Amino acid sequence: MDWGNVTAEDLVDALREVEWSAPPRPLSEFFSRFTFPRSYAKWNSRLKCNLYYYRTNYFIMIIFILGLGFLRRPLALVAACLTALSIAFLNDSFAGTFSEKVTRTVRQFSPHLAAKMRPALTPVIRGRPSAKRAIYICGRPRWVFVLIFSTVSFFLWFVSCGLLMVLWALAIGLLATILHASFRTPNLKARLNTFREEFRAVWRNYSEL
């Protein structure tokens, strides 16, 4: 995959559809080799490749930095968790896995309620879906959960007065992410992984036809 030709929109779409259940990369690999990019094109390609390959490491690092800032404000920590969950719902894989696990848990206590939590069927025309498959969480459109969790987290941010603190912590986390992604030299394993993910995406598109 030529990351120099990948736009920011393509990268965001890939991060939305990719599997986030994979474990983080080992620390020995995460802090292995750092070099200065020789040109803007090299830096641009390296940044996108590392953001995609080390996505789980960056997510954990940002959560850890935010957690350090919330030690004195437990209510702000709850608000941060709800905010992170509402953002995580934007990822198709996470939303589907979350809905499946919740439905499976509810089925153990109330099969009738679990049946109502199944997503609506997508109409099919001539063997193909009539539109892009919509994402449902517990039988409701995804945007409903994103709106509810975002509203509750915003209220908790206002009550805890920790919004300024989280902005500083988030800025530090994002700065650390950009610095690491800019200077971490992509290894052969990262490039092979991106080729494999690209093949899976193409194969998934063919299987949906």
Q: What is the pLDDT of residues 74-98, one digit of tens each?
A: 787 788 788 888 888 888 878 888 8
Q: Indicate the pTM of the whole model.
A: 0.58
Average pLDDT, the chain: 76
CA 123 to chain centre: 28
Q: What pLDDT sits at residue 132?
A: 54
Q: Rounded to an integer, what distance in angstroms lies between the CA atom of residue 115 and that of residue 107? A: 8
Q: Phi, psi at residue 147, to the nearest 5°?
A: -70, -45
Q: Rounded to an integer, what distance in angstroms lies between the CA atom of residue 140 and that of residue 180? A: 38
* DSSP single-letter state for residue 184: B
* DSSP single-letter state for residue 36: -
Q: Rounded to an integer, what distance in angstroms lies between the CA atom of residue 146 and that of residue 202? A: 29
Structure tokens at 1: 């995959």
98-154 residue pLDDT tens? 888 888 888 888 887 777 777 665 544 454 444 456 788 887 888 888 899 989 988
Q: Residue 34, SS3? A: strand
Q: Per DSSP, which regions of the chain are E strands?
A: 124-125, 128-129, 136-137, 140-141
Task: Place 202 in a pLDDT band, splitting at 50, 70 and 90.
Answer: very low
Please give the C-alpha separations between residue 92 and each of 46, 96, 135, in angstroms, as whole numbers. 25, 6, 7
Element (H, E) at 59: helix 55-69
Q: What pLDDT sits at residue 5?
A: 64
Q: Rounded to an integer, what distance in angstroms lies between the CA atom of residue 191 and that of residue 120? A: 38
